[in-house]
Amino acid sequence: MIYKNYAPPSRIDAPGVLHHIICRGIERRDIFHDEAGRKNSVDRLGDVLIMRTMRQMPVFGRDHSPSEM
């Protein structure tokens, strides 16, 4: 998407929203305040990966069985 003379749309920032982390904190500060915060983020990321993987899995049923392919 190219933005000409317009600012890009703002990121959704609300409690509970997941954001990707592309680097360590500014000035090499910790990204998470404590172990509970780190565990929460890792668990939620795992849930997202599982949901995304399951959504992309092929569904084999009566009309789409492997023998008919």
Q: What is the pLDDT of residues 37-55, one digit of tens each?
A: 889 888 988 888 888 787 7
Return the pLDDT at 34: 92
49 inside domain: yes
| DSSP letter, residue 10 | P
pTM metric for this prediction: 0.48
Return the pLDDT at 39: 93
46 inside domain: yes
* Tally of structural domains, the chain: 1
Return the pLDDT at 33: 84
Q: Which residues of the chain have a pLDDT value below 50?
A: 69
| Domain that residue 49 falls in | 31-55
45 inside domain: yes
5 inside domain: no
